[in-house]
Chains A and B, each alone.
Chain A
Amino acid sequence: MSANRRGLLVSSAPFVHVRESTTTLVLLVLICLVPSLGWAVFLFGVDVLLIVGLSAVAAVATEASLNLLRGRRTLLDGTALLTGVLIGFSMPPSAPLHVPILSSVFAIAVVKWSFGGLGSNWMNPAMAGVVFSHINWPGSLSTWKAPRFLTGVDGVSAVTPLGLLRNASGHVEGLPMDLLRDAGYRISGLDKGITAWLNDVPLSRLGARLPEGYVDLALGIRPGSLGEMAGLFLLIGSIILIARRAVRWEIPAACAAVFGVLVRLFGTGSEPLFSGDVLFALFTGSFLLVTFFCATDPVTSPMSRPGLILYGSGVGALVFLFRRFGAGPEGTAYAVILMNCLVSWMDAVLPAAGFRGRGERLPGGAG
C-alpha cells in the first residue's frame, strides 16, 4: 500500500471491502457470549467475572508480549481475547484463579504461537487450554458450586449432572432425569412455573408435553462450568452468529445431529437402548458452548462444505464416545482437538474450490 505526497492511495484494486473484518467477527462472537456471562454472574455472583477477566487478561498479555518478542502486531485482531474468554467460560465457578490464568498463557504461548500465531496454529488454542487445565489440576476442577435457585444440594460436594451419571453408570439403570431426582436435585420453582406454562399454552396445541426439570437444565440451574450453564443464552447467541454468517452452520448442525442420533440410540450411560435422552445430553456439559463457539473456529476447521460436515460429525461422534465410554464425564475439548488433527487431511481430500484444471475454464473472450 503506497501513498503519494497528496496522501492519496495508489495501490491496486479492489479498493473497497465488506464491513466485516477479523476484528468485527471476533467482536460479534464476544457480544454473543455476553448474555451467557451475565447469567453466570446472576447465578454464581460476581466472582465469575474475576475468573473470566483474569483468563482474558492473561491471554491478551501473553499475546502482547509475544508481539513484542516477534515484532508483529496482532493484538488488535481480538482473537487472543476471545481465546481467553472461552477458557474462562469452561472453568468451574469455584476454580482457583491460577488455573484459568496459566491455561490461557499455555493456549496462547504454546498452542497458538509456537506454530506461528493466528492462522498457522492447527490446534484450537482455547480447547488446548481447557485440556491443559484438566490434565494439570483435575482436583480443583471437580469441585462445583451450587447456583442460585438450586436448593438442597450441598455447595461444596455438588456434582454436575454428567458427573453424577458417570458415577451411577453401571450401578443403576434409569433415565438421567430420574437419577438426578434420586440424587436429590430438586426441581426449582422457576422450572415448575415455566414448564407448566409451556405445557398449557404452546405445547398443548402441538400435543406435546415437556417433563419437569429441562427448564432448569436449559437455564443452568445445576452445578457446572460458568460459561456452559445457560444453554438457552448460548443458543440465542449462536443463532445470531449463524444468521450473521460469522460461523459456518455446517459444523454445529452436523455435530448436533450425529451426537443426538447416537445418544438416542445408545444413551449416555445408564438408559436402556433406543431411549437416550437427547435433550438432556444437549443441554448438559459444555456441548453447546463447544459446538457453537469453539469447534467453529475457522482457523482450525476445514474449508469445504463436505469437510465441515465431516468435521462436525466427527466432533459429535467423539463427544458421544467420550461421554459414553470415557473415563471422565466430559470430553468435548478432546473431541475438538482430535478432529483438529484431521483438518489438513480433510482439506486435501475434500478441496473447497470447484476449479479442476484448465478444462473447466470459462469460454468467451476478453471483452
Chain B
Amino acid sequence: MNAIRTFKYGGIGLPPRSLDVEYPVMTAFLPSDAVLPLRQHAGAPARRVVEIGESIREGQLVGKASGTGSSNIHSPIPGIVTGIRKMPDLLGGMVEAVTVALEGSFDRLGRKNEVFPWKGLSKHQIQRAIADKGVVEDDGSGSPLFDRLHDPKGSRGDCVLVINGLESDPWNGSAAAILRERSSAVREGIAILQRVLSPVRTLIALDDPGSPFRTEGARTEPGEDGPPAEVVILEPRYPQDLPALLAEALSGRKAPHPECLVVTAGTVASVYDAVALNRPQVERYVTVAGDAVKAPGLLRARIGTSIGELLEECGGFSSDPECILLNGPFRGTAVADLDFPILKTTKSIVALTSAATLRSRTTACLRCGRCIVACPVRLDPSRLYKCIVRGKTKEAMAEGLDACTECGSCAYLCPSRLPLSQAFSLARSRTVRAGRAAGGRVS
C-alpha cells in the first residue's frame, strides 16, 4: 500500500507545484451577477425553468436536466433573473445562459448545516438526491454523477470505487484543498457512494505522500457496504488523473477488472452536500494560478462568478498574460472574455506569460522521438501528425488516433513545437462530424 505507483507507459514529469499544498483557502465574494450557462459540460443543455424578472431563492432550480448527459442547474445566489441570452460555451457552441442579479437574503445556504440522517435512505433515494442536486464530475468532463452511478438493469458486476485525489497539473491545488478542508465531507461522501455501489474495494489515490488524508482516509470504518477505503500514493506524473490511466496505475494491470469507477474528491464532497446537507452543487474550489497573477491562491467561489472577479481577488495581473486558461494549460480551454463565469467543472484559472508558456517558432519534425516516449497510450504522435497534415485522417485512425486521450504530453515535449494534440482533437472532431453527416444521409 505504501509503494509509490504510476501508470506504465509514457507521461511526463512536470515542474513542481506552483502552489504550496498548505495554501489557505479564501472565500470569494458573492457575485453581484451570477451567469449560469445551461450547459456546462458535454451533453444536452438543461431546460430553463425561470423567466426574466422572476425572483428566485438561492439553490432554486434554474435549469432542469433533460436526458442523459444533462444535469440540473441551481442558482448559487438569491436574486432576480435579469437576463437570458446566448453565450459561447467552452465546447465551441452557443448556449443559453441565465443571469441572476444578487438581491434578498440567504435563507438556506448561510444557515448552519443540518445533517440529514442519510443512512436511512435507500440506494434509489440517494441516487435521486444526487441527480436532483445536479452533482456532476467536478473535473473537465463534467459528466453527471447520476448517469455514472445509474445501473438500471443491475448488470454492473463487482466494481472498484476509486477516489481521485490527484492534482491534474502543477497549476492546480484544488484537490489537495478539498481533501484538507473538507476531509470529513469527503469521508462521508465515500460512505454514501459505498452504500450505492457496494464496491469490492475502495481506493483513494493521492499524489502527495504528506497529505493529511493519508492516515485519516483509511480510518473509514468497515461497514455493511464494503471494506474500508485504502489509500494509494501515486507518483506525481502527468496525466495520471485520466481515469483510464489511474485505473491502470492502481491495478498494475493493463485490463483493470473489475470495473473501476473513478470519482474526484471534489465530486465526493458534493455528493455529501447533496445527500446529507440537501445542498445543490453551487459552489466549488477554484485555484487561481500562473505567473501573470499577482497573488495566486485558492478560492471557494460560487458557480456563476466571473473569472475576472476571481482574478481581481487574487490581486489582478502582475504582468500581461499571454493566455488565460480554464482548467490548466494541458487540457484546459483558453478564454478571452474575463466575464466568462465559473462553471461546475472549473477547477482552475491560470494566467500565463510567454515566459511560462515557452512557445516558440514551429520547425519541422526532428524525428527526435520524444513525443512517442511521452504518449501514455503508446501512439506515434509524429506519424499521426504527418498523416493528418497530408489529409490522410483515415490512415491516422488506423494508426490509433481514436485512442488518443488528448492529454497533450506529446505537444508539451515537442522541441519543434508542432501542434500535435491540437491537430489530433481537431481531426477527431472533424471525423465525428463527418461520420454523423454520413449517417444522417443513410437514414
Interface of A toward B, CB cutoff 8 Å: 4, 6-25, 73-74, 76-77, 117-120, 248, 298-299, 301, 303-304, 351-355, 357-358, 360-367
CA distance A241 to B325 in the complex (A): 35
> Which of A4, A14, A298, A362 lies in contact with B367, CB distance below 8 A?
A298
Question: B357 in the interface, Cβ–Cβ < 8 Å?
Answer: yes
Query: Can you list 22 A-B contacts (CB < 8 A)?
Result: A9-B334, A12-B419, A13-B329, A15-B330, A16-B329, A17-B359, A17-B412, A21-B360, A117-B364, A119-B366, A298-B369, A299-B366, A303-B367, A303-B382, A353-B380, A355-B380, A357-B400, A358-B403, A363-B244, A364-B244, A367-B137, A367-B164
For residue B248, which residues in chain A have a CB less than 8 angstroms away from its CB? 362, 364
Inter-chain pairs besides A360-B254, A364-B260, 13 sampled, C-beta below 8 Å: A8-B336, A10-B335, A10-B336, A13-B332, A13-B408, A21-B415, A73-B361, A119-B366, A298-B367, A361-B402, A362-B403, A364-B247, A365-B244
List residues 354-381 of chain B with CB under 8 A from any CB of chain A: 356-361, 363-369, 372, 375, 377-380
CA distance A353 to B245 in the complex (A): 18
Per CB-CB distance, the 7 closest pairs between chain A and chain B, nearest first, are A119-B364, A367-B243, A14-B408, A353-B380, A354-B378, A364-B244, A9-B323
For residue B82, which residues in chain A have a CB less than 8 angstroms away from its CB? none
CA distance A74 to B333 in the complex (A): 30
- What is the chain A residue whose CB lies nearest that of B334? A10
Q: How far is the CB of B105 from chain A (nearest CB, A)?
A: 37
For residue A362, which residues in chain B have a CB less than 8 angstroms away from its CB? 244-245, 248, 254, 377, 403
- What is the chain A residue whose CB lies nearest that of B141? A367
A361 close to B364 (CB less than 8 A):
no
Question: B97 in the interface, Cβ–Cβ < 8 Å?
Answer: no
CA distance A279 to B40 in the complex (A): 68
CA distance A367 to B414 in the complex (A): 27
A22 close to B242 (CB less than 8 A):
no
B334 close to A8 (CB less than 8 A):
yes
CA distance A24 to B417 in the complex (A): 12
Question: B202 in the interface, Cβ–Cβ < 8 Å?
Answer: no
B143 close to A366 (CB less than 8 A):
yes
- What is the chain B residue whose CB lies nearest that of A16? B329
Q: How far is the CB of B260 from chain A (nearest CB, A)?
A: 6
- What is the chain A residue whose CB lies nearest that of B400? A355
Question: B421 in the interface, Cβ–Cβ < 8 Å?
Answer: yes
> Which of B260, B323, B356, B412 lies in contact with A8, CB distance below 8 A?
B323
In this complex, how many residues of chain B approach chain A with their Cβ under 8 Å: the count is: 72
For residue B359, which residues in chain A have a CB less than 8 angstroms away from its CB? 17
A353 close to B358 (CB less than 8 A):
no
B321 close to A13 (CB less than 8 A):
no
- Tell whether A355 pairs with B377 under 8 Å between CB atoms, given A7-B320, A362-B244: yes
User: Looking at chain A's contact residues, is the secondary structure mostly helix, strand, loop, or mixed?
Assistant: loop
For residue A301, which residues in chain B have a CB less than 8 angstroms away from its CB? 367
For residue B358, which residues in chain A have a CB less than 8 angstroms away from its CB? 16-19, 21
- What is the chain B residue whose CB lies nearest that of A19? B358
Q: How far is the CB of B30 from chain A (nearest CB, A)?
A: 26
- Tell whether A367 pairs with B242 under 8 Å between CB atoms, given A17-B357, A22-B366, A298-B369: yes
A12 close to B422 (CB less than 8 A):
yes
Question: B416 in the interface, Cβ–Cβ < 8 Å?
Answer: yes
A17 close to B380 (CB less than 8 A):
no
CA distance A353 to B383 in the complex (A): 10
Q: How far is the CB of A364 from chain B (nearest CB, A)?
A: 4
CA distance A24 to B9 in the complex (A): 27
- Tell whether A120 pairs with B403 under 8 Å between CB atoms, given A16-B358, A352-B380, A366-B243: no
For residue B379, which residues in chain A have a CB less than 8 angstroms away from its CB? 353, 355
- Tell whether A13 pairs with B333 under 8 Å between CB atoms, given A8-B322, A8-B323, A366-B141: yes
Question: B139 in the interface, Cβ–Cβ < 8 Å?
Answer: yes
- What is the chain B residue whose CB lies nearest that of A15? B329
Question: B100 in the interface, Cβ–Cβ < 8 Å?
Answer: no
Interface centre among A6, A12, A18, A357 (most CB of B within 10 A): A12
Question: B324 in the interface, Cβ–Cβ < 8 Å?
Answer: yes
Q: How far is the CB of A121 from chain B (nearest CB, A)?
A: 10
Q: How far is the CB of B205 from chain A (nearest CB, A)?
A: 12
> Which of B245, B330, B372, B403 lies in contact with A361, CB distance below 8 A?
B403
B9 close to A354 (CB less than 8 A):
yes
B399 close to A355 (CB less than 8 A):
yes
Question: B413 in the interface, Cβ–Cβ < 8 Å?
Answer: yes
For residue A355, which residues in chain B have a CB less than 8 angstroms away from its CB? 377-380, 399-400, 403
Q: How far is the CB of A69 from chain B (nearest CB, A)?
A: 17
Question: B34 in the interface, Cβ–Cβ < 8 Å?
Answer: no
For residue A304, which residues in chain B have a CB less than 8 angstroms away from its CB? 369
List residues 182-213 of chain B with CB under 8 A from any CB of chain A: none
For residue B330, which residues in chain A have a CB less than 8 angstroms away from its CB? 13-16
CA distance A13 to B412 in the complex (A): 9
For residue B419, which residues in chain A have a CB less than 8 angstroms away from its CB? 11-12
Q: How far is the CB of A7 from chain B (nearest CB, A)?
A: 7
CA distance A275 to B324 in the complex (A): 66
B365 close to A119 (CB less than 8 A):
yes
- What is the chain B residue whose CB lies nearest that of A307? B369
Q: How far is the CB of B241 from chain A (nearest CB, A)?
A: 9
> Which of B139, B245, B323, B367 lies in contact with A15, CB distance below 8 A?
B323
> Which of B245, B367, B417 lies in contact with A119, CB distance below 8 A?
B367
Q: How far is the CB of B398 from chain A (nearest CB, A)?
A: 8
CA distance A42 to B93 in the complex (A): 67
Question: B315 in the interface, Cβ–Cβ < 8 Å?
Answer: no
- Tell whether A118 pairs with B363 under 8 Å between CB atoms, given A15-B357, A353-B379, A366-B143: yes
Question: B425 in the interface, Cβ–Cβ < 8 Å?
Answer: yes
